């Protein structure tokens, strides 16, 4: 019989190794004993697994502990428990303590080193069958908690009783594991953890959970088995290349067309969003974070369920259908991904095993002052494995086209948003976070190796060198970088009254000084239309009737400038039809504005800009190459006119001209390159079709004349509309 001390340790859930005493075990004489801890059970019979014949009755000893010798049996056998519970319910089930170690030694070794390429295949909850001749379905659980004294799986299946399913510790890796028979997808669970000091921690959600409850509930949910890897098609790989037309529609899924009083489902979004974005000519959708998060107001940027598509939109399977709907419409899908920080909610990974397991222990490194969040310990191998594995999970298992990585600047610098004396220098005394830099390099390398064709985009707001340079050349390895400087400069210029713009001319030209130092995306993102910044329309000068036409004209001209400028494009939802109000995550976009022709006209313009951006190789093939751009007019400050040439790699050319004053210029002389004999207007943001005054060059071609202008021997005479952008192509 089990010693009294070991029994009391089991009943108090402080036994160091329940697997060594529960289940079938031989004593010193070779006699088999069967022991079970089933609090709440009134009686337990032992059955043979195959025949279901009764082998023995287990006497109740104390506190739900049952044990008995197995007669003359000397060999272990497969068995089941027939349990009669105190409430009268009866059931037959397999014993979790009848199953041996779960993870292979090779996987444990890699996990312990932080080198497992796919940790999500081992850690977390995985439905499967186990057993010998009579296998049983259940769920294998594994969790990293190296400093814990005890870890149990708790849930509705065991009345949240931490004594019932205490896990086995695989000491070398600090990983706890157990196979629990009869659990299945949809079951709720958490981990009950006793910390190194013997204190019971708040029940913890699974860091590797692939499904979670809808907030404010916080339990993890057993998800369906992992999807098979989803390779990108050749078409999708081509569409992600730096010589492709990339125009991104950024969306907050919950509020795009938010139904009254609830969140949209993935299937509702799949039925409308991809079709709309494709009809608008966008090449990619970018979703603000859709991994599970506790607080709606964080917009997903404070996530505690990196592996779980948010329950706000229904079961994870719906997300798979959404991805397929995007690809069926010819759209790439990008996800915002947040490896910089995480919230400190007690049910999450903060103090996960009673220690600073996932974050830096020193608050000068581990606490984010701006967001009151915790910063991942980028130097710890197991944490790096967690983050890099998560990036691969989304691209490989869900088939998304890429990840836009949030808050990269906050990761790169140890003194980010910290005053002097409140940050820890690196090993060389500097401010760069070498661990975070290495993490991003390894993440990009891993995706390049395991998910060829998938792309990463960095939201990086500083001049850190080589963000989109390959790691082999010392860069971070991202494919693209958001051009925050271009966005800030050009929006400041557009905010000026036209009469003052001559004094701010350089804000529109400065971006070309560094435009080809990175592979840039020009972003007009959600960050530009929240927190009192106003909508894009309301950033533009021209208050009230009869001057409101200037707001629309300015916005249309700016969009023309943006689409004609080198760099990939990104526009946040609602700005394609000149949303008037600042964006709020709590309400849907103001789609009713499209009943107003001025708003409908802006929408038609964005659709046409996307169309010609894709149609004309000169506007995208060399987006990231200096050979694709040449100034034609950059010095006309007094009239606030800009003009440039865009080229492709096979001789195609396009001219872009912007007039950022409300003054029409009917005979503007512009020097042009030799070659084309005439040019014609391909797009005019002042067209009546878009809500403009219809000034322009729609009646005929613009012949190249042998009249010198702007240092060129030949030129054209152009009628420049007020507050407008023209795109010209060879006639």
What value does the CA radius of gyration of the chain take, rounded to a whole number of Å?
31
Q: Residue 598: what are its φ and ψ, rounded to 5°?
A: -65, -40
Q: How far apart are CA 246 and CA 284, in angstroms?
A: 7
* 314-to-127, 257, 273, 321, 387 alpha-carbon distances in Å: 20, 16, 16, 12, 24
Q: How far apart are CA 645 and CA 403, in angstroms?
A: 32
> Residue 47's Cα: distance from chain center in Å?
49
Q: How far apart are CA 355 and CA 619, in angstroms?
A: 53
> Quick one: tokens of 626?
């200096």
- CA torsion sign for 518, 519, 524, 525 is negative
Residue with tokens 């991904």: 337
Closest C-alpha among 407, 406, 405, 410 to residue 456: 405
Q: Residue 344: what are its φ and ψ, rounded to 5°?
A: -100, 20
Q: How far apart are CA 460 and CA 2, in angstroms?
A: 61
Q: Which residues, in sequence order, are bridge partners of residue 191?
A: 153, 204
> Quick one: tokens of 638?
């007094």
Residue with tokens 């990175």: 518
Residue with tokens 């974050």: 359
Closest C-alpha among 524, 584, 516 to residue 255: 584
Q: How far apart are CA 207 and CA 204, in angstroms?
A: 9
Q: Residue 176: what are its φ and ψ, rounded to 5°?
A: -105, 145
In the three-class reduction of DSSP (H, G, I as helix; E, B as strand; rest coil), residue 675 is classed as coil
Burial of 509 (0-12, 13-18, 19+ CB in 10 A): middle
Query: Pairing between strand 332-337 and 284-287?
Result: parallel
Q: Which residues are catalytic?
A: 406, 459
Determine which helix (DSSP H) or strand (DSSP E) holds 549, and give its type and residue range.
helix 548-564
Residue with tokens 């289940």: 23
> Quick one: tokens of 286?
């970018």
Q: How far apart are CA 143 and CA 191, in angstroms?
A: 9
In the three-class reduction of DSSP (H, G, I as helix; E, B as strand; rest coil), residue 508 is classed as helix
In the three-class reduction of DSSP (H, G, I as helix; E, B as strand; rest coil), residue 726 is classed as strand
- CA torsion sign for 435, 440, 443, 444 is negative
730 Cβ neighbours under 8 A, 6+ residues apart: 653, 675, 676, 678, 679, 680
Closest C-alpha among 677, 675, 672, 654 to residue 711: 672
The count of other CB atoms within 10 Å of the CB of residue 143 is: 24
Buried b / exposed e across 8-18, counting CB within 10 Å, b at 16+? ebbbebebeeb
In the three-class reduction of DSSP (H, G, I as helix; E, B as strand; rest coil), residue 106 is classed as helix
Residue with tokens 């990463």: 456
């Amino acid at each position: 019989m089990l010693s009294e001390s070991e029994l009391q340790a089991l009943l108090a859930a402080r036994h160091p190794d329940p697997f060594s005493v529960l289940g079938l075990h031989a004593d010193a004489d070779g006699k088999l004993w069967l022991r079970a801890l089933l609090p709440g059970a009134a009686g337990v019979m032992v059955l043979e697994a195959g025949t279901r014949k009764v082998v023995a009755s287990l006497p109740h000893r104390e506190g739900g502990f049952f044990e008995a010798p197995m007669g003359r049996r000397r060999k272990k056998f497969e068995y089941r428990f027939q349990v009669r519970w105190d409430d009268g319910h009866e059931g037959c089930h397999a014993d979790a303590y009848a199953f041996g170690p779960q993870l292979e030694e090779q996987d444990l070794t890699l996990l312990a080193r932080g080198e497992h390429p796919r940790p999500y295949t081992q850690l977390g909850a995985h439905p499967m069958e186990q057993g010998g001749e009579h296998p049983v379905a259940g769920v294998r659980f594994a969790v990293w908690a190296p400093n814990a004294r005890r870890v149990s799986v708790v849930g509705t299946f065991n009345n949240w009783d931490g004594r019932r399913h205490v896990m086995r510790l695989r000491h070398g890796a600090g990983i706890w594991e157990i196979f629990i028979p009869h659990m299945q997808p949809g079951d709720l669970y958490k981990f009950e953890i006793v910390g190194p000091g013997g204190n019971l921690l708040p029940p913890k959600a699974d860091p590797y959970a692939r499904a979670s409850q809808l907030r404010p509930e916080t339990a993890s949910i057993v998800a369906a088995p992992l999807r098979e890897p989803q390779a990108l098609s050749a078409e999708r790989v081509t569409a992600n290349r730096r010589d492709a037309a990339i125009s991104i529609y950024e969306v907050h899924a919950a509020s795009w067309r938010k139904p009254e009083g609830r969140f949209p489902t993935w299937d509702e979004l799949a039925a409308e969003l991809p079709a709309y974005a494709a009809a608008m000519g966008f090449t990619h959708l970018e979703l603000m974070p859709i991994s599970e998060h506790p607080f709606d107001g964080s917009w997903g940027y404070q996530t505690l369920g990196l592996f779980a598509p948010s329950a706000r939109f229904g079961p994870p399977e719906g997300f798979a259908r959404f991805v397929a709907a995007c690809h069926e419409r010819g759209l790439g899908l990008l996800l915002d991904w947040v490896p910089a920080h995480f919230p400190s909610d007690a049910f999450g990974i903060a103090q996960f095993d009673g220690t600073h397991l996932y974050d830096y222990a020193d608050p000068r490194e581990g606490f984010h002052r701006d967001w009151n969040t915790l910063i991942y310990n980028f130097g710890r191998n197991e944490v790096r494995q967690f983050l890099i594995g998560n990036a691969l999970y989304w691209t490989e298992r869900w088939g998304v086209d890429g990840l836009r990585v949030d808050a990269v600047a906050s990761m790169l610098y140890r003194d980010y948003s910290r005053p002097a004396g409140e940050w820890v220098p690196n090993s060389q005394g500097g401010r760069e976070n070498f661990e975070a830099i290495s993490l991003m390099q390894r993440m990009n390398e891993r995706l390049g190796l395991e998910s060829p064709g998938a792309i990463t985009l960095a939201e990086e707001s500083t001049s850190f060198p080589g963000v989109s340079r390959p790691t082999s050349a010392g860069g971070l390895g991202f494919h693209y970088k958001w051009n925050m400087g271009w966005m800030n400069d050009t929006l400041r210029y557009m905010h000026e009254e036209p009469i003052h713009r001559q004094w701010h001319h350089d804000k529109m030209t400065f971006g070309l000084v560094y435009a080809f130092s990175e592979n840039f995306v020009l972003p007009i993102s959600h960050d530009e239309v929240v927190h009192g910044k106003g909508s894009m329309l309301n950033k533009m000068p021209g208050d009230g009737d009869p001057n409101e036409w200037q707001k629309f004209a300015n916005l249309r001209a700016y969009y023309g400038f943006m689409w004609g400028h080198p760099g990939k494009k990104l526009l946040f939802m609602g700005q394609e039809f000149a949303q008037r109000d600042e964006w709020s995550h709590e309400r849907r976009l103001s789609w009713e504005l499209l009943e107003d022709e001025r708003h409908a006209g802006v929408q038609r313009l964005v659709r046409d800009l996307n169309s010609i951006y894709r149609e004309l190789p000169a506007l995208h093939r060399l987006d990231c190459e200096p050979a694709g751009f040449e100034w034609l007019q950059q010095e006309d400050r007094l009239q606030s006119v800009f003009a440039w040439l865009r080229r492709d790699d096979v001789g195609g050319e396009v001219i872009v001209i912007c007039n950022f004053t409300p003054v029409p210029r009917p005979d503007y002389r512009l020097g042009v390159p030799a070659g084309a004999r005439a040019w014609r207007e391909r797009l005019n943001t002042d067209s009546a079709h878009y809500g403009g005054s219809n000034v322009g060059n729609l009646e005929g071609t613009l012949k190249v004349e042998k009249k010198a202008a702007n240092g060129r021997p030949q030129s054209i005479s152009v009628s420049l509309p007020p507050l407008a952008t023209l795109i010209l192509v060879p006639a």
